[in-house]
Amino acid sequence: MSVQATPTKIEKLAAVKGMNDVLPPDSAMVEWLEAKVRALMARFAYRNIRTPIVEKTPLFIRGLGEVTDIVEKEMYCFEDRLNGDPLTLRPESTAGVVRAAIEHNMLYDGGKRLYYMGPMFRHERPQKGRYRQFDQIGAEALGYAGAEVDAELILMANALWKEIGLEDVRLELNSLGQSAERLAHRQALITHFEQHQDQLDEDARRRLYSNPLRILDTKNPHMQALVEAAPKLMDFLGDASLAHFKRLTSILEANQVAYTINPRLVRGMDYYNLTVFEFTTDRLGSQGTVCAGGRYDYLFEQLGGKPSPAVGWALGVDRVLELARSAGLKAMNPTLDAYAIVSDEDALPLVLATLQTLRTAGLSVQMHASSGSGMGSMKSQFKRADSSGARYALIFGQDEIAAHQVTVKPLRDASATQATESLRDVATWAVRLQSNA
Ligand code: ATP
Ligand code: MG
């Protein structure tokens, strides 16, 4: 006697809030952007680096600074279950790249130009353009001190906007100078904000003495006027810092790159000095920064390495693609050359061998498959072939198989005629199908 178990309803599982699936056809847009970036990076002689997604927590605390939004509120931290090590899902990649450069002594024979792509994790309030897992693409030039490398990175980002058809991206620049200059400015800032204590929000009050510069990065609309009136770091810069900035802007001008100077641009991490910049747009509402970066000449030392100047940027893949979409770019389904339909399962070994030859010749071929047993009727297979968008249907019917042939039926070109081809010389007609594309 068999006992039937009462079926219990199994609950569906959803993805973690703020962490999104990227499905086809949207995933094709991500691949498209990545391919554009790879080609661009190659032209600027930047090479790919792949660091782990998990790093030891002190890397970010030391690297980004203790009094920053990321370290204070946004990191996904956990303990290694086996040895208790404090670990963190990377919220950004610059610290990891510099850690790797130090660990592998990458700068032993001079500077390195690097780029990365991949997911970052920040526990933020999810909204359009702001997620808890999001992809960044970044470029880092390690071991170079000159403003011409700051300029090169900006020109490279600018070339990317051109290449992918983005027009309303604006460049904002600032200089954070060097630490002695920031110290004098810091005192002036504290004095300014102390005079308006009542207008400071909780974050700002907490940071007034620990990191007043960070107050300039506030997103609180009620504090904008106060921040606007704050002393400008640019007015505290010495000759060397100003010269660096001047060299950068003159290279940009020679390359017809428009920019505005934003004296309140300070960026969210403590590791920056001299040049900082952001590419912004009005099209994405309040999440308007698509790419941001700057110079971080002291990060190597802060992470225990030999002092080495460096500069870089990171762009938000979601925001760049959203902008590309608003400029009219559509996700494309990759074009399919052929869709194979088969009347008799016994023919499948021969059919699959044929499709393999076509694929080796470079054609994209989809094999019909069904969710039940058998192949399904020829009529329903034809329907699938049509809706697949393929240029040709490859018909392996009973007659064809018996004669060791296939019928090649054009699906998109009404003037083209259908042909019968031999399975013995697939490679020959494969070339013909391809050249008809
Ligand atoms: P924001 O001021 O918008 O919070 P940020 O200064 O924290 O940005 P960076 O750490 O400089 O940003 O990251 C570089 C880019 O990565 C940003 O300009 C943005 O395009 C993207 N980015 C940052 N955080 C997120 C997020 N939570 N979701 C999606 N994209 C993001
Ligand atoms: Mg942020």
Q: What is the pLDDT of residues 311-323, one digit of tens each?
A: 999 999 999 999 9
* Cα dihedral 354→356→361→366 (10° resolution): 90
| Token representation of residue 327 | 């400029």
Strands (E), 236-318: 260-261, 273-280, 289-295, 310-316
Q: DSSP string of 344-358?
A: -GGGHHHHHHHHHHH
**Neighbouring-strand partners of residue 135:** 119
Give the mutation target among 267, 319, 322 for probing the ligand 1 site: most ligand atoms within 8 A of CB.
Answer: 319
The pLDDT of 23-28, averaged and rounded, is 92
How far is it, in rounded angstroms, from Cα 29 to Cα 339? 23
Ligand 1 mean position, distance from CA 303 (Å)? 23
Give the closest residue to 299 by CA, choosing from 91, 60, 79.
60
Query: What is the per-residue pLDDT for 435?
Result: 83
Query: What is the per-residue pLDDT for 334?
Result: 77
How far is it, in rounded angstroms, from Cα 292 to Cα 154? 10
Domains of the chain: 26-177+237-326 (3.30.930.10), 338-435 (3.40.50.800)
Q: How confident is the model at residue 286 (pLDDT cuts 50, 70, 90)?
A: confident
Query: What is the per-residue pLDDT for 219?
Result: 86
The pLDDT of 303-317, averaged and rounded, is 98
* 8 Å CB contact between 267 and 280: no
Query: Average model confidence (pLDDT) for the chain?
Result: 94
Ligand 1 mean position, distance from CA 103 (Å)? 27
* 8 Å CB contact between 339 and 394: yes
Ligand 2 mean position, distance from CA 69 (Å)? 7
| Token representation of residue 45 | 């002689």
Give the closest residue to 214 by CA, choosing from 185, 171, 178.
185
Q: Relative to the CA of 315, which ligand 1 atom is closest?
A: 15
**Farthest CA pair distance, the chain:** 93
How far is it, in rounded angstroms, from Cα 346 to Cα 348? 6
* Cα dihedral 99→137→281→60 (10° resolution): -20
Query: What is the per-residue pLDDT for 53?
Result: 98
Tracing tokens 């609180």 back to the chain, one arrives at: 220
Query: What is the per-residue pLDDT for 214?
Result: 87
Query: What is the per-residue pLDDT for 95?
Result: 97
pLDDT per residue as tens digits for the range 322-372: 999 988 888 777 789 999 999 999 999 999 999 999 999 999 999 999 988
Q: How confident is the model at residue 269 (pLDDT cuts 50, 70, 90)?
A: confident
Tracing tokens 């960070």 back to the chain, one arrives at: 214
Q: What is the pTM of this model?
A: 0.90
Residue 84: DSSP 8-state? -
Residues with Cβ < 8 Å from 383, sequence gap 6 or more?
A: none
* 8 Å CB contact between 115 and 137: yes
Percentage above 90 pLDDT, the chain: 86
Q: How many CB atoms lie within 10 A of CB 400?
A: 20
Q: How confident is the model at residue 373 (pLDDT cuts 50, 70, 90)?
A: confident
Task: Classify residue 139 by burial, with Cβ atoms within 10 Å: 0-12, 13-18, 19+.
Answer: buried
Q: Whose CA is nearest to atom 16 of ligand 1?
A: 316
What does the radius of gyration of the chain's CA atoms come to, in whole angstroms?
Answer: 29
Point out the ligand nearest to the CA of residue 277: 1
How far is it, in rounded angstroms, from Cα 87 to Cα 76? 8
Point out the ligand nearest to the CA of residue 73: 2
pLDDT per residue as tens digits for the range 129-164: 999 999 999 999 999 999 999 999 999 999 999 999
Alpha helices by DSSP H, 269-396: 299-302, 317-326, 348-360, 378-387
How far is it, in rounded angstroms, from Cα 190 to Cα 207? 10
- Between 2 and 396, whose confidence is greater? 396
Query: Above 70 in pLDDT, residue 2?
Result: no
Point out the ligand nearest to the CA of residue 296: 1
How far is it, in rounded angstroms, from Cα 181 to Cα 268? 19
Give the mutation target among 17, 94, 136, 280 for probing the ligand 1 site: most ligand atoms within 8 A of CB.
Answer: 136
Query: What is the per-residue pLDDT for 394?
Result: 98
Ligand 1 mean position, distance from CA 240 (Å)? 30
pLDDT per residue as tens digits for the range 26-79: 999 999 999 999 999 999 999 999 999 999 999 999 999 988 889 999 999 999
Q: Which residue ranges have their beta carbon within 6 Å of ligand 1?
A: 92, 122, 124, 129-131, 134, 136, 268, 287, 289-292, 314-316, 318-319
Query: What is the per-residue pLDDT for 5?
Result: 65
Query: Above 80 in pLDDT, residue 436?
Result: no
The pLDDT of 407-412, averaged and rounded, is 96
Query: What is the per-residue pLDDT for 113?
Result: 98
Query: Above 80 in pLDDT, residue 7?
Result: no
Ligand 1 mean position, distance from CA 265 (Å)? 14
Percentage above 70 pLDDT, the chain: 98
Taking CA atoms, 118 is separated from 28, 31, 37, 93, 253, in Å, by 16, 12, 13, 9, 32
Q: Relative to the CA of 314, which ligand 1 atom is closest?
A: 14
